[in-house]
Structure 1
Amino acid sequence: MDVWGEINGVEKIGDFVSIVADSAANQELAYITGAGVSMVQKMPSWDQYVDDLIDYWKSHVDTLNSNYSAVDSFVLIKSKVQT
């Protein structure tokens, strides 16, 4: 079934509903949502989410570096003890 061709030619909402119902009954329906759905719930857009992550890591890079230093020191000490 060429759903897009049929939807583009639909002039009545009832026809559209029939197409969706038939597609669902034939297991040919894919329901896709975009970022707008979550934005209604006050969630950030992808752009805002990425910007927030960048800002977070800019202000926490020292913490990240110190954690890696602590892990590196532990691994180095452990390897010296085992040899």
Structure 2
Amino acid sequence: MSVSWGIIGSVTRRLMLLDTASLYFRAYFGVPDSVRAPDGTPVNAVRGLLDFIGRLVHDHRPDELVACWDNDWRPQWRVDLIP
């Protein structure tokens, strides 16, 4: 199977790449921890992440979406670059 990206004839495909770890971090601190499942488990980060992804998809209408996750998304060398 061959996959092509970009311009195919007169059709342009839209690919959305997400830095999911940073969006999850943002959602964790941006959504109140009062957002909980019926059993009391905090779900603020998951809810915030899914709401944000839903809004991005609605606003930008990508043909494909790739959610990338890097467990070491804030390595020391990156922190050292921050002024």
Asked whether the two chains share a fold, i.e. TM above 0.5, the reply is no
Larger radius of gyration: 1
TM value normalised by structure 1: 0.25
The answer to which structure, 1 or 2, has the higher relative contact order (CA under 8 A, 6+ apart) is 2
Query: What's the TM-score, normalizing by structure 2?
Result: 0.25
